[in-house]
Structure 1
Amino acid sequence: MPVRLSVPKENASGERRVALDPTVATRFGKMGLSVQIEKDAGAAARFPDAAYPDAQVLDTTDVYAQADIMVRVAPPTPAEIEQLPEGATLIGFFHAHRSPEVVAALQKRRILSFAMELVPRISRAQSMDALSSQAAVAGYKAALMGADLSCRFFPMLTTAAGTIRPSKVIVIGAGVAGLQAIATARRLGAMVEAYDVRSATKEQVESLGAKFLDLGVKAEGEGGYARELTGDEKKQQQEALAGFIAKADVLITTAAIPGRPSPKLIPADMVRGMKSGAVIVDLAAEGGGNCELTEPGKTIEHGDVIIHGPLNVPSQVALHASEMYAKNLLNFLTPMIQDGEFKPDWDDEVVAKSCLTRDGEIVHAPTREAIQGDAS
């Protein structure tokens, strides 16, 4: 019997993505897997059931009960895990450090789970990096949100009524999301400045036509992330940033560290120093926000400044975000499929480091320590 690869309909609030688009589903079928999708699994991403000609469409109960491997987007609930056969494999985003009850359910059912957010950021795994693919979607959308909320044009306009100067956009954080926000804001005609504590990003920022703000604070860390700043560094950073941000029409913040609260880079007094009608788009709202005043999931006004704290931004571009995520999954799973059988190589760094639970144990050490620490 071929390995059964299941795709459920996402039930998390506001989640419109689907784990497999029709093209990737067909490719898995050609690898010898039996692909089965839950009815209307792709509908919210504009992939109707008829778009999956090579997949079997099942009801909710069967798509779980018949799964050998299940791929999904949003973290599962304990109730969803309970529907899986004992010993099945589950792949998706988990953010397990926030959900000890989900990890407990994985252990109880002896589920082999792989967390896409744990895929190591090494050259060989770039095509599997779902954090980056979804961050690119978020960065693109952030620039559009800023333009939409702003009371000013982004581009310079020369009209019979006079010349309108272009908006000034500042992007904090030059990771994947930040770089995509820079590129999109530039395409819209804005003047763009950007800052990152990793000085190595200067060349990337300037290659996109933006000005890099050198504040004299550098904090390169491991795995492509910035290390946490010291108290003195944070003070120096905020003092230097304040003058630039006071002149911004739109501020986009993207500084996030997986597994930790978002660093607070924009205090309330800095917001009060911004110009009337300025906009803050806080892409780090999922982790509490980079701005001290951000309310995750809400758009508020503080004085004359609009602060937007969007959640699950990639889901707003559901079709393309799903296609990108599906390719991440394809590239992640393909090396584990040999002659139609599921055979993960535990000596492979990507496989070993992305594994969350196996044989009823939490094998990802930081998650195990975080949960056991919470329990104690």
Structure 2
Amino acid sequence: MTGRFIRLVAAPLLLALGLTACMLALMGVDPLAYFGLVVQRGLLSPSGLQAAITRMAPLLLVAASLILAFRAGIWNLGGDGQYLLGAVIAAAIAPALAGMMPHWLAWLVCFAAAAVTGAVWSLLPAWLRARRGVNEVVSSLMMSFLGLSLANVLIKFVFQDPGTTVPQTVTLPVADRLPRIGDGLLGGAVSSGVLVGLLAVLLVHGVMTRTAFGLRLRIVGANARAAVHAGLDVPRLTMVVFGLSAGLAGLAGAVDVLGIQGNVRAGWNPAYGLMVVPLVFLARFNGFAAIVFVFLFSVLSVGGESAARRLGVPNYVTLVTVAILLIGLAVGEALDRRRRATKAATA
């Protein structure tokens, strides 16, 4: 077991760190200084740790969205469009609702509106996959592109704040945003949206591993033809999975706006949908592992941004590290499978 862990996890991790260090050295940057700043600013610094945990909130919801879809064999890659449209809708209605009802009720309404928006935006690729067999990779990516464009149109022409010349929605007052948690321990600077994200990941993990509905989805994901022969309504399940996955992506946008951003500007796109895909694969679609990888990625992102500013290196160095790690894990998995197959053939 120890040898397999070294081959599948430790070796790819060391490879990723080593290649990143070589890249930094070629750029004239001390790798030890860079990694030291990443750890110091992203994990050991109280403000950096607060920022990392807060950043986890939307990332966890996107991770839950992808785990649900991928384990059911659905490649919903339109999360960015679903996310941004959900964020725009939540940002548009939140300021008006804040003065009409209790805060908790306004947040719930915004969450529901954002989730429904994301789900509705997934109807076309879901229907094309379920009823016409059209590959959802292309259709969901195209809908994501259209969603980003529609979000900008809504911000500039429908929901723009009349009190500013900057194309953005009305800013939600800090007092009306999601409450902060960790007072005393983390300075009260962590958005409670992270609790929503944690709950979503754990709920999706529980549904997929502990319920009959999750078993049906896993059967569809493993072999759709076998699922049909087993009497499962694959088209219906496909539509349901697409809607739930996209709804979680839209909810992530609402949590980001209500807990962190406060408004949405034209042209803003954090691209969390595609960014979280490698993290979900690194976690092997396991909810608990996804939480760990999202935390590590948040720490790397916050610490990497600080290190990049201090040392004058590009911000994408962190993404390059994650990409190298993903490739190393894939290669390690392939070699391990070949090794086990060879061992079984010679036994």
TM-score past 0.5 threshold: no
TM-score, structure 1 normalization: 0.26
| Greater strand fraction, Structure 1 or Structure 2 | 1
Query: Quick check: which one's helix share is greater?
Result: 2
Using structure 2 for the length normalisation, give the TM-score: 0.27
Relative contact order higher in (CA < 8 Å, ≥ 6 apart): 2
